[in-house]
């Protein structure tokens, strides 16, 4: 009881901080926090695919790209943002569904290889199909939308829009992983054969896990485009996919809060380290390596191990304390 | 026809470079299920060891020896002990991510400590062209091809003809059983890391005169070698060589006959098709254990 | 309500005061945002080193109008999204002038931010479109492709009398931009583009590309790649025994390419705007100073960074005060002569778009050395 209460309080405190903190930040700080929110959405999607359903995807960055291009293309040709967002969601869901098919044939690292190939193919399409994406020149002037009549062109309102999107996505995923679907995903990860024998339609759920995770990548992209107000192919290389994978692993794959922490490290830590000038990326990379050596299951992995150990200790103490009472009752 | 032959031979020469890098990939995977995202940087780094040694006034051949020694120490022993060992038991992903961070650290360190420029590198193979079937082929490329083939032959001899090789193979195929029959599994794994370190140093020596010594060359090389390893078969040394050569040739033919803008896509389509219909790769064997 | 108003006024006054203070006393703050990691790192590092060299020189001689320069460097990771963050951070610090970035995507993202903040931005990008978007605070340090390509096209059409040209370009923003402009310029002069060949950054094997040039039967080839790839394609051209004239830009005929390609570079020709090989004593001195400080020969990006700082010096001394607001207006239409400001190395004139006019060179590589064949005078002279 106290543990869940503490978790709730921490959650509320975190949310309050996210709402209030930017009021004290300059435009740069607000931009970085918005970037964090957007990357967290993409990482939440990947965590669903990887952490809950156990499918390795090296293409999440490509889905962010698909979402960003969907919004950029549609909003710069006059459609409202909502249409772009819907398109980003739909296209990345559909492509994710199709890409999930190989997952049915091959498992484990081979699937990762297929997604790796897809990631690079997507980059080539972004760059080469000039009629659609404006090629290497990119799409300039992606507008920031008006929501309920409020313009989000300024940094702060746009940050709250990103934060709102993150909140909606978080609640949806929170609900999803507790639903029968979420339990089916986990069953799939833990033991696909057993899941099949228990009547889980593994085929459908595998595709579903992949498609939903990819769709969230698309949603992240849909906010990335108006955040930067510019889209070109260069950010959506394999490096972004690997970076998102790193966020999930470093935060703790399969933990609900993992992506939040992982994105915090991937987006904010390099910024904090910039005082080291030329060395900041080296320091960042070393930090990630040290963290993974200490806890290969990520930050929440350590925390979980620590808490489990404490609970076990507390439980055995409780048992020890309870013993005399039992004895006296018996006597 | 002469054009086709020309592209074929040039592609084989480039493919040999990928092959040299890809061999190490497959070795590490076989014995320790390590996916080394820093493999490209492992090839980039020894050249800088050698350049730095030359800057200290050592003659070229001595600098090469220093470079190989440092590679064995840093990219073999230290890599294995410091990064791989603590994570080996925790599955493929954390280690793969750690090697990704390592690739950033290596690139940035070279850039920061040495330079962001591309540096020419002396070639062990003399410059100039020789005539092969009427096509002029650069001696450097031919040298890479020959040495790559020799390396594979030597590696195969080691694995099949020596007692250590047999023990390494047993470790690769089933570490648990290998341990039961008394093979020092840990030492065998260490050997593969040292062999990989030696191979990347050799690769660096061969490749750098063509690619130049630059902090970022590892990105392209690493990705090409990775794809080559998958196409050829991730768990076979000869598969890596076949994959590398195939990739070099396909890339050239794609650029000439399909589309220059999508030349990089053709090997990837090939990769997807191969995985879907022959997931163990062209020359790979089906894996008995899962990850 | 009135109290609130006065508080606001006081706060606003305070803010204005601190801003004015930042402008009047102490050091002059320059903020550089460049590609210090990622694919653009070589370009960005040269640019940064050029800036540092100029700043050190100026400070050694007492600064600008008696005030020392202070420069901060931020890494854009060659990514427009990160570039935007770093430029925002730089602008939040209210610099006198923003330097960089070099990648055109990053320039496009940041130019409007600088304009909103009314901070002059001096950048290294060469893409034609950058100065066409109406940014009033954006300035180049080198020829845009719209100034250099017509000269190359004219050389191909008039001097070489080429009827058809094979265009080989690297498929990134730099190469694609150059390819688009040269293609249009060649068509204007009734020269046929016999082959349009896209290559990848970092490509190692140019066998297929050279075979295509060969098959096209073109009279000449225009090669627009980065230095390292230029060296590789020159070697491949030699291997395949192609003898047609090879025309390029700074990145085909620079000393770095010659060093890397060896004798394969002989015969390559090109138009060069900024080059550390230029037969101008001031540039030779720059090259020596740079090499002494950083232990390598700079490319033209090192020159660009160096010049950017000296543009700041010249404009500020012309105004006689450190005035960010008047900077852009002063620089538009200004001619800075090397006689007045030796650090500018060659006379340069800025137009109303922030584009430059400067002397250029047509060079050819002979026996492993760049030889100037023709000096293309400044248009204004």
With a cut of 80, say whether residue B235 has pLDDT above it. Answer: no
In tens, the pLDDT along C344-373 reads 999 999 999 999 999 999 999 999 888 888
Determine the structural domain holding residue A232 and report its residue range: 29-238
Q: What whole-number distance in Å separates Cα of residue C74 and Cα of residue C81?
A: 13
pLDDT of residue C291: 95
Query: In chain B, which residues have their Cβ closer than 8 Å to the Cβ of C200?
Result: 263-264
pLDDT of residue C315: 97
Contact C260 B253 (CB under 8 A): no
Q: In a mutagenesis test of the B interface, which of A59, A282, A287, A305 is the best target, namely the one with the most B β-carbons within 10 Å?
A: A282
Q: A residues 228-267 near B, CB within 8 Å?
A: 238, 242, 245-246, 249-250, 253
Instruction: Give the least confident one: A150-159, B85-94, C17-26.
Output: C17-26
B211 Cβ under 8 Å from any chain C Cβ = yes
Average pLDDT estimate for C223-250: 93
C2-143+281-350 and C145-272+360-376 have identical folds = yes
pLDDT of residue C25: 66
The secondary structure of C139-178 as a DSSP string is E-SS--HHHHHHHHHHIIIIIS--SEEEEEEESSHHHHHH
Of B129, B211, B216, the CB nearest to C204: B211
Contact C212 B256 (CB under 8 A): yes
Q: What whole-number distance in Å separates Cα of residue A280 and Cα of residue A285?
A: 9
CA distance A223 to chain C (A): 12
Q: What whole-number distance in Å separates Cα of residue A209 and Cα of residue A184?
A: 10
In tens, the pLDDT along A223-261 reads 999 999 999 999 999 999 999 999 999 999 999 999 999
- In sequence order, which ranges of chain C are alpha helices (DSSP H)? 2-24, 41-60, 80-92, 104-116, 145-154, 173-188, 207-216, 227-239, 250-253, 255-261, 281-294, 300-319, 324-331
Stretch (H or E) spanning A291: helix A280-294
Grouping H, G, I as helix, E, B as strand and the rest as coil, residue B137 is strand
With a cut of 60, say whether residue A266 has pLDDT above it. Answer: yes
Complex ipTM value: 0.92
**Nearest residue to C109 (alpha-carbon basis) of A139, A133, A161, A33:** A139
Sheet holding C360-366, edge to edge: C192-199, C164-170, C220-224, C246-248, C269-272, C360-366, C369-376
Q: Write the CA distances from B5 to B19, B132, C208, integer angstroms.
A: 20, 10, 11
Superfamily of domain C2-143+281-350: Response regulator (3.40.50.2300)
With a cut of 70, say whether residue B73 has pLDDT above it. Answer: yes
How many domains are there within chain A?
1
Query: In chain A, which residues have their Cβ closer than 8 Å to the Cβ of B116?
Result: none
In tens, the pLDDT along A69-127 reads 999 999 999 999 999 999 999 999 999 999 888 767 776 677 888 899 999 999 999 99
Q: In a mutagenesis test of the C interface, which of A31, A34, A126, A233 is the best target, namely the one with the most C β-carbons within 10 Å?
A: A31
C172 Cβ under 8 Å from any chain A Cβ = yes
Q: How confident is the model at residue A323 (pLDDT cuts 50, 70, 90)?
A: low
Longest dimension (CA), chain C: 85
In tens, the pLDDT along B150-177 reads 888 898 899 889 999 999 888 888 888 8
Q: B residues 225-264 near C, CB within 8 Å?
A: 248, 251-253, 255-256, 260-261, 263-264
Q: How confident is the model at residue C275 (pLDDT cuts 50, 70, 90)?
A: confident
In tens, the pLDDT along C27-71 reads 999 999 999 999 999 999 999 999 999 999 999 999 999 999 999
C207 Cβ under 8 Å from any chain B Cβ = yes
Of C37, C85, C177, the CB nearest to A28: C85
Question: Which residue(s) pair with A304 in the sheet?
Answer: none
In tens, the pLDDT along A284-316 reads 999 999 999 999 999 998 888 888 888 888 888
**Torsion of the alpha carbons at A114, A115, A119 and A125, rounded to the nearest 10:** 60
With a cut of 70, say whether residue C1 has pLDDT above it. Answer: no
Q: A259 φ, ψ to 5°?
A: -60, -35
Contact C105 A138 (CB under 8 A): yes
Which other chains touch chain B, taking contact as 3+ CB pairs less than 8 Å apart? Answer: A, C
With a cut of 80, say whether residue A148 has pLDDT above it. Answer: yes
Q: Is residue A12 part of a domain?
A: no
The residues spanned by each domain of chain C are 2-143+281-350, 145-272+360-376
pLDDT of residue A108: 66
Q: What whole-number distance in Å separates Cα of residue C106 and Cα of residue C84?
A: 7
pLDDT of residue B269: 87
CATH of the domain spanning C145-272+360-376, picked from 2.60.40.10, 3.30.565.10, 1.20.120.140, 3.40.50.2300: 3.40.50.2300
Cα B233 to chain center, whole Å?
14
Report the relative pairing of strands C356-358 and C348-350 from DSSP bridges. antiparallel
Q: How confident is the model at residue C21 (pLDDT cuts 50, 70, 90)?
A: very low
With a cut of 60, say whether residue C381 has pLDDT above it. Answer: no
C263 Cβ under 8 Å from any chain B Cβ = no
Q: Write the CA distances from C101 to B18, B192, C87, integer angstroms.
A: 34, 45, 9
Q: How confident is the model at residue A322 (pLDDT cuts 50, 70, 90)?
A: low
Q: Of how many residues is chain A composed?
A: 331
A-chain residue closest to B100, CA distance: A242
Q: Of how many residues is chain C composed?
A: 381
**Nearest residue to C65 (alpha-carbon basis) of C321, C327, C314, C308:** C321
In tens, the pLDDT along C287-320 reads 999 999 999 989 899 999 999 999 999 999 999 9
A-chain residue closest to C45, CA distance: A278
Query: In chain B, which residues have their Cβ closer than 8 Å to the Cβ of A289?
Result: 83, 98, 101-102, 105
Counting runs of H as helices and runs of E as strands, what totals does chain B give? 12, 2
Instruction: Give the least confident one: B251-255, C15-19, C89-93, C175-179.
Output: C15-19
In tens, the pLDDT along A201-223 reads 777 888 888 999 999 999 999 99
Average pLDDT estimate for A179-184: 84
Q: Is residue A75 part of a domain?
A: yes
C-chain residue closest to A226, CA distance: C81
With a cut of 60, say whether residue B288 has pLDDT above it. Answer: no
Size of interface A-C (CB pairs under 8 A): 63
């Amino acid at each position: 009881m106290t543990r869940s209460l503490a978790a709730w309080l921490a959650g509320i405190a975190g949310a309050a901080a996210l709402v209030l903190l930017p009021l004290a930040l300059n435009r740069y700080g607000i931009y970085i926090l918005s970037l964090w929110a957007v990357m967290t959405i993409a990482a939440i999607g990947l965590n669903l695919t990887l952490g809950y359903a156990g499918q390795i995807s090296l293409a999440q960055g490509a889905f962010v790209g698909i979402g960003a291009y969907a919004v950029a293309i549609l909003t710069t040709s006059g459609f409202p943002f909502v249409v772009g967002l819907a398109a980003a969601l739909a296209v990345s869901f559909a492509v994710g569904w199709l890409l999930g098919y190989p997952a049915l044939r091959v498992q484990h690292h081979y699937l990762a290889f297929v997604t790796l190939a897809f990631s690079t193919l997507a980059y080539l399409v972004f760059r080469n199909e000039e009629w659609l994406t404006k090629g290497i020149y990119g799409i300039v002037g992606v507008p920031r939308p008006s929501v309920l009549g409020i313009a989000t062109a300024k940094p702060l309102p746009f940050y709250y829009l990103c934060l709102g999107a993150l909140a909606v996505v978080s609640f949806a995923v929170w609900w999803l992983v507790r639903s029968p679907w979420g339990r089916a995903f986990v069953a799939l990860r833990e033991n696909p054969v057993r899941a099949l024998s228990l009547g889980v339609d593994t085929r459908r759920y595998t595709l579903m896990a992949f498609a939903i995770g990819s769709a969230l990548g698309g949603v992240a992209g849909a906010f990335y485009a108006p955040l930067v107000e510019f889209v070109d192919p260069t950010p959506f290389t394999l490096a972004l996919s690997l970076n998102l994978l790193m966020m999930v692993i470093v935060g703790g794959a399969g933990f609900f809060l993992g992506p939040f922490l992982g994105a915090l490290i991937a987006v904010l830590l390099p910024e904090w380290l910039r005082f080291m000038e030329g060395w900041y990326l080296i320091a960042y990379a070393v930090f990630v390596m040290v963290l993974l050596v200490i806890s290969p299951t990520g930050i929440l992995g350590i925390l979980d191990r620590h808490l489990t150990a404490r609970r076990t200790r507390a439980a055995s103490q409780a048992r020890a304390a309870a013993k005399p009472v039992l004895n006296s009752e018996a006597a | 026809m002469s054009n086709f032959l020309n592209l074929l031979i040039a592609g084989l020469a480039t493919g040999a470079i990928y092959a040299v890098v890809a061999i190490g990939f497959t070795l590490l995977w076989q014995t320790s299920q390590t996916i080394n995202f820093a493999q490209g940087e492992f090839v980039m780094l020894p050249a800088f060891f050698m350049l730095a040694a030359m800057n200290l006034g050592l003659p070229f051949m001595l600098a090469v020896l220093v470079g190989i020694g440092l590679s064995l120490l840093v990219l073999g022993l230290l890599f294995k002990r410091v990064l791989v060992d603590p994570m080996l038991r925790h599955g493929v992903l954390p280690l793969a991510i750690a090697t990704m961070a390592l690739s950033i650290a290596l690139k940035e360190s070279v850039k920061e400590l040495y330079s962001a420029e591309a540096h020419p590198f002396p070639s062990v193979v003399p410059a100039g062209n020789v005539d092969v079937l009427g096509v002029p082929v650069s001696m450097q490329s031919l040298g890479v091809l020959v040495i790559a083939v020799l390396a594979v032959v030597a590696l195969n001899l080691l694995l099949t003809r020596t007692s250590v090789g047999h023990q390494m193979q047993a470790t690769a195929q089933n570490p648990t059983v290998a341990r039961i029959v008394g093979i020092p599994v840990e030492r065998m794994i260490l050997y593969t890391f040292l062999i990989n370190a030696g191979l990347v140093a050799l690769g660096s020596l061969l490749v750098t005169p063509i690619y130049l010594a630059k902090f970022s060359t590892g990105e392209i090389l690493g990705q090409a070698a990775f794809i080559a390893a998958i196409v050829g078969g991730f768990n076979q040394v000869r598969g890596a060589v076949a994959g590398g050569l195939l990739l070099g040739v396909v890339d050239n033919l794609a650029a000439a006959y399909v589309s220059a803008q999508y030349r990089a896509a053709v090997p990837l389509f090939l990769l997807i098709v191969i995985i879907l219909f022959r997931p163990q790769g062209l020359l790979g064997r089906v894996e008995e254990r899962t990850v | 309500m009135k109290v609130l108003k006065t508080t606001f006024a006081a706060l606003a006054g305070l803010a204005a005061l601190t801003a004015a203070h930042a402008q009047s006393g102490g050091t002059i703050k320059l903020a550089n945002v460049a590609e210090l990691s990622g694919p653009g790192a070589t370009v960005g590092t040269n640019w940064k080193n050029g800036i540092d060299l100029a700043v050190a020189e100026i400070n050694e001689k007492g600064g600008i109008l008696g005030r020392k320069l202070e420069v901060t460097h931020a890494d854009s990771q060659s990514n427009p999204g990160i570039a935007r963050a770093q430029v925002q951070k730089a602008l939040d610090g209210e610099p006198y002038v923003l330097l960089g970035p070099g990648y055109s995507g990053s320039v496009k993202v940041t130019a409007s931010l600088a304009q909103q903040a009314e901070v002059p931005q001096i950048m290294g990008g060469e893409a034609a479109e950058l100065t066409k978007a109406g940014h009033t605070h954006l300035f180049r340090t080198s020829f845009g492709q719209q100034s250099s390509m017509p000269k190359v096209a004219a050389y191909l059409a008039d001097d070489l009398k080429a009827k058809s040209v094979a265009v080989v370009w690297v498929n990134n923003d730099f190469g694609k931009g150059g390819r688009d402009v040269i293609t249009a310029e060649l068509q204007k002069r009734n020269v046929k583009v016999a082959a349009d060949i896209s290559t990848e950054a970092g490509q190692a094997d140019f066998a297929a590309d050279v075979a295509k040039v060969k098959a096209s039967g073109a009279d000449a080839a225009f090669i627009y790649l980065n230095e390292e790839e230029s060296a590789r394609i020159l070697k491949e051209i030699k291997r395949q025994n192609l003898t047609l004239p090879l025309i390029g830009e700074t990145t085909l005929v620079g000393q770095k390419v010659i060093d890397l390609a060896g004798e394969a570079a002989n015969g390559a020709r090109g138009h060069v705007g900024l080059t550390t090989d230029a037969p101008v004593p001031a540039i030779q001195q720059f090259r020596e100073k740079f090499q002494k400080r950083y232990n390598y020969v700079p490319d033209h990006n090192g020159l660009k960074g160096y010049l950017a700082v000296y543009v700041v010096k010249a404009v500020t001394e012309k105004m006689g005060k450190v005035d960010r607001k008047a900077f852009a207006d002063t620089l538009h239409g200004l001619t800075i002569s090397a006689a007045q400001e030796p650090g500018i190395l060659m006379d340069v004139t800025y137009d109303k778009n922030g584009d430059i006019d400067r002397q250029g060179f047509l060079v050819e590589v002979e026996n492993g050395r760049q030889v100037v064949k023709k000096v293309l005078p400044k248009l204004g002279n």
